[in-house]
Structure 1
Amino acid sequence: MDLQVLRSFQAVAEGTTVTDAAAEAGITQPALSRALNRLDEEVGAALFQRVGRGLRLTPAGQVFKEYADSILDSYDRGLRAVAEVVDPDAGVVSLAFLHTLGTWLVPRLVTGFRESSPQVRFELHQAGEIGLAQHLLDSTADLIITSKDPGHPLITWRRILVEPLWLAVPTRHRMAQRRRVRLAEVAEEPFIVLKPGYGLRNVTETLCHQAGFSPLVGFEGEEVETLRGLVAAGLGVSLIPASSRATAPETGPDLPVRYLQMTDVHAARDIGIAWLASRSLPPAPRRFMEHALKATAGPREPGAPR
Structure 2
Amino acid sequence: MDLQVLRSFQAVAEGLTVTEAAAEAHITQPALSRALSRLQDEVGAELLQRAGRVLRLTPAGRVFKEHVDAVLESYDRGRRAVAEVVDPEAGLVSLAFLHTLGTWLVPRLVTGFRRAFPQVRFELHQHEENGLVQHLLDATADLIITSDDPGHPSITWRRLLVEPLWLAVPPQHRLAQRRQVRLAEVAEEPFILLKPGYGLRSLTDTLCHRAGFTPRIGFEGEEVHTLRGLVAAGLGVSLIPSSPDAAATRDVPIRYLEITDVHGARDIGIAWLSGRTLPPAPQRFIDHALEAMTGQDPARGGTTTARPQEDGG
TM over 0.5: same fold? yes
Q: Is the 8 A contact 1:224 1:240 kept in 2?
A: yes
C-alpha displacement at 1:26, in angstroms?
3.7
Q: Counterparts of 1:255 and 1:68 in 2: how far apart (Å)?
A: 50
Q: Counterparts of 2:65 and 2:275 in 1: how far apart (Å)?
A: 19
Amino acid at match of 1:48: L
Amino acid at match of 1:263: T
Amino acid at match of 2:209: H
Q: Unaligned regions of 5+ residues in structure 2, if any?
A: 301-305
Aligned equivalent of 1:299: 296
The reply on whether 1:260 has 2:264 as its aligned counterpart is no
Q: Counterparts of 2:252 and 2:123 in 1: how far apart (Å)?
A: 36
Amino acid at match of 2:38: R
C-alpha displacement at 1:255, in angstroms?
7.0
Q: Counterparts of 1:279 and 1:185 in 2: how far apart (Å)?
A: 48
Q: Counterparts of 1:296 and 1:129 in 2: how far apart (Å)?
A: 21
Aligned equivalent of 2:125: 125
Identity between Structure 1 and Structure 2 (%): 77
| Secondary structure in 2 matching 1:193 | strand
TM-score (norm. length: structure 1)? 0.92
Q: Counterparts of 2:252 and 2:92 in 1: how far apart (Å)?
A: 42
RMSD of aligned residue pairs (Cα, Å): 1.9
Aligned equivalent of 2:146: 146
Among residues 272, 287, 312, which one is paired with 1:290 in the alignment? Answer: 287
Q: Counterparts of 1:170 and 1:26 in 2: how far apart (Å)?
A: 56
TM-score (norm. length: structure 2)? 0.90
Q: Counterparts of 2:91 and 2:41 in 1: how far apart (Å)?
A: 38
Q: Counterparts of 1:23 and 1:214 in 2: how far apart (Å)?
A: 53
Between the two proteins, the alignment pairs up a number of residues equal to 303
Q: Is the 8 A contact 2:190 2:215 kept in 1?
A: yes
Amino acid at match of 1:272: G
Q: Deviations over 1:221-255 (max 9, x none)?
A: 111111111111111111000016x443434xx97
Q: Is the 8 A contact 1:181 1:260 kept in 2?
A: yes
C-alpha displacement at 1:156, in angstroms?
2.8
Aligned equivalent of 2:249: 250
Q: Is the 8 A contact 1:10 1:69 kept in 2?
A: yes
Q: Deviations over 1:194-218 (max 9, x none)?
A: 1111110110011111112211221
Q: Counterparts of 1:66 and 1:156 in 2: how far apart (Å)?
A: 25
When residues 163 and 85 of structure 1 are mapped into structure 2, their CA distance, relative to the original with a 3 A threshold, is: same
Q: Counterparts of 2:63 and 2:185 in 1: how far apart (Å)?
A: 55
Q: Unaligned regions of 5+ residues in structure 1, if any?
A: none
Q: Deviations over 1:67-95 (max 9, x none)?
A: 11111111111111111110111111111
Q: How does 1:26-105 map to 2 (within 5 A)?
A: 26-105=26-105
Q: Deviations over 1:32-63 (max 9, x none)?
A: 22322222233232111111232111111112
